[in-house]
Amino acid sequence: MERLLKGMQRFKDTVFHEKQSFFQSLSEGQNPRALFITCSDSRVVPTLITQTEPGELFVLRNAGNIIPPYLASNGGEEATIEYAIGVLHVKHIIVCGHSSCGAIDHLLSGEVDHSDNHIVSQWLAYAESAKQITEALEPDNNEQRLELTIRNNVRMQLKHIETYPCVAKAIAKKELDLHGWYYCMETGDIDVFINTSVNTATA
C-alpha cells in the first residue's frame, strides 16, 4: 500500500502539476472516443496499449471481458453500456481479449466448479459457447485451444452486446461500430480481427 500512496503523491506533484489546465478541463465533461471493454487482468492497461489520454476511453472491465446478454443479469455491465450509448453516444465499442487470460484458462480447465468459486463459475458460463466453438474446431494443443477460446469469447461477447436495444438501434442507424481485439502481451501486438468499420475515420 505504501507504494500506492507514494504514487498518488507523485502523480499530484508531477503529472498533474505539469498538465494542470488539461486535468481541470476534464471536469467540464467527457466525450470519449470509445467504450473499451476488457479483462480486469492487471497486466492489461487500456490507456497504455492504445496510448490514449484521460477522457478518451470509457472503460468497462471484469473477469474475462464478459457481457451478459440483455437483461440476463441486470448488473453494472448493462448499465454501463446503456450509459455509453444513450448518454455519451460513443461511436465505437471495443471488446479486447488478451493472451494468457486466467478467466478463460479457468473456463477451459473447469476449475471454476469448486464451491469457493461458485460466482466465478456462474459468471464464466456467459462464455461457455466460446469454449464449445473451440472444441468443435479441434485445436492441436492447449496453447492453441486457449488463444482460440479467447478470440471466440470476444466474438461471443460482441454478439451479446448486439442484443441490447440501444446498441441494435445505433448499429441500424450506422452510428456505432463494433470491434474485436486480441492483445498479445508477449509481443505487444494487437490483432484487430473484428471491425464493422462504419465510423473508423472518427476513432
Residues that bind Zn ion (CB under 5 A): 39, 41, 101, 103
Q: Could you give the C-alpha distances from 130 to 46, 72, 124, 145, in angstroms and in order?
A: 23, 17, 10, 11
The closest residue (CB) to Zn ion is 39
Nearer to Zn ion, 14 or 40 (CB): 40
- Share in percent of the chain as helix, strand, coil (round to 5): 50, 15, 35
Q: What's the closest the beta carbon of residue 103 comes to Zn ion, in angstroms?
A: 5
Q: Phi, psi at residue 185, to the nearest 5°?
A: -75, -20
Report d(CA 157, CA 74) in Å as an integer. 16
Nearer to Zn ion, 103 or 127 (CB): 103
Nearer to Zn ion, 94 or 101 (CB): 101
Nearer to Zn ion, 101 or 156 (CB): 101
Q: What's the closest the beta carbon of residue 160 comes to Zn ion, in angstroms?
A: 17
